[in-house]
A and B are shown apart, each in its own frame.
Chain A
């Protein structure tokens, strides 16, 4: 057991902190207010930084790092993301990188696919990749995928509509990126027939039709993408085209497994936002001459002290669960339950913490002159995407109870 930060962790945190403080905080408010505009200068700088440090950016790009020995890739990614999200959650999500789409390719792609779609990712101009699962009629229940993929000679032909695709617009319209799309080969065969496909930018028949207006993380683009007879090469399928009745890691199950690495990362991003709020509030209190006394009787404690202590405990509990999920992944251990615990705990904790900070700061908290209200808006998404609170509770409950998805749904 060890709770000390390695040198690598300390330096990763310090570097990310610099970017967060120097490059993100100063423009955070602007790109929140001017939704749907692109901070190109920021993109370019982050792109330049990450070129020299491939491993060091963004979601999922290193999720499946070394599986043996004492690797701490996932943990480092989490720590970095906490810092970047502390800088700004919307901007952090916008950083040009392989994102969730890249994580899927990393997890189940062939060496050629990895080389082709990830290999050149830090060269040339800023580029994004995205993952399109959600459709207008479903979100959580991902076996409802209705987008179709039909084999036609050397190609797959895609038809359907995807919504809520993070960085979809930037991946397809603003850069030479790609989107990993979930589509079914045969709707009657359920989840076994759902496969994912790499759709490169510039594919005819692929159109971004809407960019959502959101409560928070406004700097991040969330796109609706329509596929109309969109043709992609046959070998752009991730995993096999065979429909195996049982979940296999190469198909649906494999893509689901990428969440084991990305859920702690979503948790970490929420923790960064909540930490920003809590630090800000404590700083403001300190300036007002109020300090928190941790060791006084409950009778002598003020409500404020109690709330702050509770928030700190909730935040640290979330962080430790997150780190533990990462630690297990870095050790090559199966961590689905722990990843969901981290996400479920953090999702709720950061939502409550940021809301409480706004409340405790009064008019100051509600005002758009300060950042607290923004952080409250930004934190909420932690409990929604990549599995809502309830979906993660389901996963934990199944694991704890030893139930299948048929026994508990």
Chain B
């Protein structure tokens, strides 16, 4: 029966995450953007919150009771992104390995890989999905995985590979027999070259790299399951939820500002041109949130999600761009100045169309 309320557990998760995001992520966001560095202490505190461990069953070192739910994933992603997207992506990066292993991996693969990410301290994870060519889409990859005896040989170039330099593993997605294959490639594998840290429009706090795979050879046992496309669909829902989080941040900031700023003898929020912009921002943010929850819920029910996820993702990325741009506009010239976070949110939101695989499940 149609119902939009979060259950108690979901509410608790949301409260925990949004409080943490407001108290810890938001204050650190600007400096991370300026310096490109996310403070160690923050990462440690976040790790103790158990965001990742909570999705991994006890037998592999975590403390999850069931399967990770896409709805819960969306709640966490949205909440963290409201604090700061770059830091959120860094903190959630272990999921780039943990989730595909959990979802697609064999018992052996789970036993071998998961405990590495379940230690006392945060261990970064990484995934290589996006490719540096104009027509990229996750269903149509140029990177290939060719079977050769007991090995796979990977060839191609990937970009926007999060934390590639420090992660023990990169899950590389490549066109393979039977669909898109996911391969766990340990850092330092011969044939894997990690390029310079990338410089991006937004997400400046987040380390991303271009990587090259040149006849990079991994054992057949490095492949996780068969077709990884459904896996990537799940990650798109988390991305869309992050788009909502960032829009929400911008909306709230615009509201506060507009109610304080005077023009022509009234608060600017009292002018319809501004008030209506804010009304639309609120409506669009809520609309995208509901579309994402519906898509996530469908996945949790075992749906294939190819249509729902595509639609929610398209809607949310467009929404995030419009809403964060309007959020900046509400501040006028001050929106363009880096003292305020709105220009950063607008830069960060621009990326949603290309975040494939950066965002964790």
Interface residues, chain A, CB within 8 Å of chain B? 1-6, 9, 70, 72, 75, 294-300, 309-310, 312-314, 316-318, 320-321, 323-324, 327-328, 331, 341, 344-345, 390, 393-394, 396-398, 400-403, 407-408
**Do residues B314 and A323 form an inter-chain contact, with CB atoms below 8 A?**
no
**Do residues B287 and A345 form an inter-chain contact, with CB atoms below 8 A?**
yes
How far is it, in angstroms, between the C-alpha of A244 and the C-alpha of B7 when the chains are bound?
41
**Do residues A403 and B314 form an inter-chain contact, with CB atoms below 8 A?**
no
How far is it, in angstroms, between the C-alpha of A397 and the C-alpha of B290 when the chains are bound?
20
Chain A residue contacts of B19, Cβ below 8 A: none
Q: Is B201 interfacial (CB 8 A cutoff)?
A: no
Give 8 A-B contacts (CB < 8 Å), ordered by A residue: A298-B353, A299-B137, A313-B311, A321-B290, A327-B2, A327-B5, A344-B280, A398-B275
Dominant SS at the B interface?
Answer: helix
**Do residues A2 and B2 form an inter-chain contact, with CB atoms below 8 A?**
yes
**Do residues A309 and B311 form an inter-chain contact, with CB atoms below 8 A?**
yes
How far is it, in angstroms, between the C-alpha of A317 and the C-alpha of B136 when the chains are bound?
27
How far is it, in angstroms, between the C-alpha of A1 and the C-alpha of B7 when the chains are bound?
7
Chain A residue contacts of B135, Cβ below 8 A: 297, 299-300
> Which one, B161-169, B219-227, B292-300, B334-342, is touching chain A?
B292-300
Chain B residue contacts of A403, Cβ below 8 A: 269-270, 275
Tell whether A317 pairs with B287 under 8 Å between CB atoms, given A1-B297, A299-B135, A401-B278: yes
How far is it, in angstroms, between the C-alpha of A6 and the C-alpha of B140 when the chains are bound?
38
How far is it, in angstroms, between the C-alpha of A1 and the C-alpha of B1 when the chains are bound?
9
Interface residues on B, range: 35 or more
Q: Is B104 interfacial (CB 8 A cutoff)?
A: no
Interface residues, chain B, CB within 8 Å of chain A? 1-7, 10, 71, 134-137, 139-140, 255, 258-259, 269-270, 272, 275-276, 278-280, 282-283, 286-288, 290-291, 293-294, 297-298, 301, 306-307, 310-312, 314-315, 353
Tell whether A401 pairs with B269 under 8 Å between CB atoms, given A3-B2, A393-B276: yes
**Do residues B275 and A324 form an inter-chain contact, with CB atoms below 8 A?**
no
Dominant SS at the A interface?
Answer: helix
**Do residues B297 and A2 form an inter-chain contact, with CB atoms below 8 A?**
yes
A283 to chain B, nearest CB (A): 17
**Do residues A320 and B279 form an inter-chain contact, with CB atoms below 8 A?**
no
A304 to chain B, nearest CB (A): 15
**Do residues B258 and A401 form an inter-chain contact, with CB atoms below 8 A?**
yes
**Do residues A1 and B275 form an inter-chain contact, with CB atoms below 8 A?**
no
Contact of A321 among B5, B287, B301 (CB under 8 A): B287
Chain B residue contacts of A4, Cβ below 8 A: 1-2, 301
**Do residues A400 and B315 form an inter-chain contact, with CB atoms below 8 A?**
no
**Do residues A400 and B136 form an inter-chain contact, with CB atoms below 8 A?**
no
How far is it, in angstroms, between the C-alpha of A398 and the C-alpha of B272 when the chains are bound?
10
How far is it, in angstroms, between the C-alpha of A394 and the C-alpha of B315 when the chains are bound?
24
**Do residues A408 and B275 form an inter-chain contact, with CB atoms below 8 A?**
yes
Chain A residue contacts of B291, Cβ below 8 A: 313, 316-317, 320
Count chain B CB atoms within 10 A of each CB in A331, A390, A401 and give the residue with the most: A401
Tell whether A1 pairs with B6 under 8 Å between CB atoms, given A296-B137, A297-B136, A321-B290: yes
